[in-house]
Amino acid sequence: MKELDQTRAPIYEALEEFRRMRVVPFDVPGHKRGRGNPELARLLGETCVSMDVNSMKPLDNLCHPVSVIREAEELAAEAFGAAHAFLMVGGTTSAVQSMVLSVVKRGEKIILPRNVHRSVMGALVLCGAIPVYVNPECDDRLGIPLGMRLEEVERAIRENPEAKAVLVNNPTYYGICSDLRGIVELAHRHGMLCLADEAHGTHFYFHEDLPVSAMEAGADMAAVSMHKSGGSLTQSSLLLTGPGVHPGYVHQIINLTQTTSASYLLLSSLDIARRNLALRGRTEFGRVMDMARYARAEINAIGGYYAFGRELINGGSVYDFDETKLSVNTLDVGLAGIEVYDLLRDEYDIQIEFGDLGNILAYLSIGDRPREIERLVSALSEVRRRFGKSKAGLMRQEYIEPQVDVSPQDAFYADKESLPIDETEGRVCSEFVMCYPPGIPILAPGERITRQILDYIHYAKAKGCSMTGPEDADILRLNVLKGAI
Ligand SMILES: Cc1ncc(COP(=O)(O)O)c(C=O)c1O
């Protein structure tokens, strides 16, 4: 096939051309290039508001791309080694949900790890599919869920031969990768598709020292957060498909929930970010890896902290590791991860990605510079000196094996009652509970509530984790299924 010209950015070029034409707007958006909302125009700048336009012939239409958006999708597909790429404007949530909705229907099974993002569980509520969980091992020292072992995936496939697909995190938020090639091979051998949540793996496509990407591993679909490590605007994302997936059908699924007013700010940011990664991604991510290695060594030299890395690789539950994820265990400093996360922001004006019970994650990407790394390292050293204490009483995150008694969809839509949280033990939950970020449900609809789960929720709240999910925003009450089940 003829190589495409990756220096092109068709949506961006069409927008520039459109701006030069000075077309008079009798269409939406009603701010009319910012004139109707001067404060907004001042905040965002003239270029930005004048590019916030609606679909029209010269700019194509995301719901039915035939010109510049189609070209941009073809360029993205080539850059990521996919058969087809869809530009997405509803976050990676919409990419994940379109991916799941494309392969499973009500009552059909999908094999997946329990430590998936809420968007995956949301897709199961929407389509009525049944989750078959492969329990990821938990690292006892770090208290983080690991990847899926090949043998465990094989067991799930053997016990559920009618399942339609296997979904894999590539990588997890903490940078842990499963043996994706092995899982793809297993899934295909049993007539199943393999889907990858690559919200944290955009950069895998652009450097050979990073773990294998979903498309290279032969996966059938991948949801890729361009806005995370790829450098595009927040909320923009990609859905990639392999040669065994019919793009026309996937597009129909996407259009069930996708806006008919896609933002050209988001679309052009995807186009420009793809061009940047195609032309400079390898150099940029090489630099990011160097910074992460340096930071890891410096943080480990402080004492108390453990910035973990490739030494975790064990050929099974940690098949590979994404070195750009600067995850640091904080328990030996006597502080929960979420406490260090808060201290870094409140005392040192440093915002990191998240803190959980035992770890923090600093997200390194193409916008980072060595001087910020130095600042993070010295702030961590100060935090230890000023706030470090004995680690007695700190709780380690544990993997809590879910007991799924009702399908997520049935539980979500069932007759329910709201109870004070401590009276819910033994009942079946009908909503989500999670710390956000990372957004991995502690409880999902259909799961039995246990004392261990309630203790975990209380502890996470007390430590300052930002809890989301339930109808009751204070999480004092939970919705459970009515009657004994
Ligand atoms: C693993 C994973 N998948 C999907 C998503 C959803 O991405 P978005 O926030 O772009 O909707 C996230 C967000 O953090 C995530 O961590």
Q: What is residue 436's predicted lDDT score, i.e. its pLDDT?
A: 75
Q: Tens digits of per-residue pLDDT, 156-174?
A: 999 999 999 999 999 999 9
The two three-digit tokens of residue 167, written as one number: 């979904």
Q: Tens digits of per-residue pLDDT, 8-54?
A: 999 999 999 999 999 999 999 999 999 999 999 999 999 999 999 99
pLDDT interval class at 257 (50, 70, 90): very high
CB of 363 within 6 A of ligand 1: the answer is: no
CA of 88 to the centre of ligand 1 (A): 13
CA of 148 to the centre of ligand 1 (A): 19
Q: Cα–Cα distance between 284 and 206 in angstroms, integer?
A: 9
CB of 317 within 6 A of ligand 1: the answer is: no
Q: Region 60-78: what's the mean pLDDT?
A: 98
Q: Tens digits of per-residue pLDDT, 379-405?
A: 999 999 999 998 887 777 777 788 999
Q: Which atom of ligand 1 is nearest to the CA of 96?
A: 4
CA of 117 to the centre of ligand 1 (A): 6
Please give the radius of gyration of the chain, using alpha carbons only, rounded to the nearest integer: 23
DSSP string, 285-337: HHHHHHHHHHHHHHHHHHSS-EE--GGG--SSSS-EE-TTEEEEE-GGGT--H
CB of 170 within 6 A of ligand 1: the answer is: no
Ligand 1 pocket check: which of 89, 94, 120, 225 to mutate, most ligand atoms within 8 Å of Cβ?
Answer: 225
CB of 94 within 6 A of ligand 1: the answer is: no
CB of 117 within 6 A of ligand 1: the answer is: yes
CB of 232 within 6 A of ligand 1: the answer is: no
CA of 225 to the centre of ligand 1 (A): 7
Q: What is the dihedral of CA 147, 211, 229, 88, to 10 degrees?
A: -80
Q: Cα–Cα distance between 116 and 107 in angstroms, integer?
A: 20
CA of 213 to the centre of ligand 1 (A): 17
Phi, psi for 3 (deg, rounded to 5): -70, 140
CB of 289 within 6 A of ligand 1: the answer is: no
The burial class, CB within 10 Å (0-12 / 13-18 / 19+), for 365 is middle
Q: Tens digits of per-residue pLDDT, 357-370?
A: 899 999 999 999 99
CB of 197 within 6 A of ligand 1: the answer is: yes
